[in-house]
Amino acid sequence: MEINFTNVSKHYAARTHEKMEDVLMDPKGIGPAIHYYMIRGGSEQKNTTVWEPGTVSGEYIKTYGHYHVGDLSETYWIVYGQGVALMQKLKENENGEMIADEVEEFKAIPVIAGSEVFMPSKFGHLLANTGSTYLVCIDDSPVDFEDRDPSSFPGHADYQLVKEMRGFAYYVVEHEGKPALKKNPLYKKIEKEDLGGLQVIE
Ligand SMILES: [Fe+2]
């Protein structure tokens, strides 16, 4: 494999608290300056994400979340720490466009080091760090280094629908020292859900 040393800086990005305010359960909550760090190599070299531990107003530190543009699946390999992966597939209108506030299927999956999670195309996905250490995950999503800001906002990812809904259908929150779920009131309906044994709190 050929490694391009001329654009090394393009491989690193960090997601700031300011940007995460779009999708936090409590956008005014206090959090770390950086929520997670990304080193992107693409499908072959793989991508690495490292999450800070902790919560913002009770919500665990998470990735922003996105849907893939086109028919593109992805695999997460958890290499350290523990977390909860969220996946959701939105309903589509007659033109095949996703309906932002109607979920056809939602899944919450508790993960630990060694877990592998497959995200089929059409399922939006995010991962929250529910442990007391860094959470570290490798994934195989593609990166087009010709994009303007490939590591921070790769072209294959659609963040807009998540922004519009201020996150996914549930937030992963700390409850009595353990992860639980709290409904995002902006979603109108969830047709099918598998909450991975997590409790739902009001
Ligand atoms: Fe992705």
The pLDDT, as a whole number, for residue 56 is 98
Report pLDDT for 5: 54
- pLDDT score for 49: 98
pLDDT of 146: 80
How many angstroms does the Cα of residue 156 sit away from the middle of ligand 1? Answer: 8
Per-residue model confidence (pLDDT) at position 79: 98
Three-state secondary structure readout of the chain? CCCCHHHHHHHEEEEEHHHHCCCCCCCCCCCCCEEEEEEECHHHHCEEEEECCCEECCEECECCCEEECCCCCEEEEEEECEEEEEEEEEEECCCCCEEEEEEEEEEEEEEECCCEEEECCCEEEEEEECCCCCEEEEECCCCCCCCCCCCCCCCCEECHHHHHCCCCCEEEEEECCEEEEEECCCCCEECCEECCCCCEEC
Distance, in Å, from the CA atom of 152 to the CA atom of 155, rounded to the nearest integer, reads 10
* Each residue's pLDDT tens digit, 82-133: 999 999 999 999 999 999 999 999 999 999 999 999 999 999 999 999 999 9
| Cα 65 to averaged position of ligand 1 atoms, centre (Å) | 8
108 C-alpha to ligand 1 centroid (Å)? 16
Closest CA to 49 of 126, 115, 114, 138: 138
Q: What distance in angstroms lies between residue 176's CA and the mean position of ligand 1's atoms?
A: 31
Per-residue pLDDT, 149: 81
Confidence at residue 154, expressed as pLDDT on a 0 to 100 scale: 83
pLDDT of 128: 98
Sort 29 into a burial class: Cβ within 10 Å, 0-12 / 13-18 / 19+: middle
Q: Torsion-angle region of residue 101: left (phi > 0), alpha (psi -120 to 50) or beta?
A: alpha
Q: What does the angle CA 24 – CA 180 – CA 174 come to, to the nearest 5 degrees?
A: 65
Residue 153 confidence (pLDDT): 83
Structure tokens, 148: 């303007």
pLDDT number for residue 174: 98
For the chain, residues with pLDDT lower than 50 are 8
The Å distance, Cα 138 to ligand 1 centre, comes to: 11
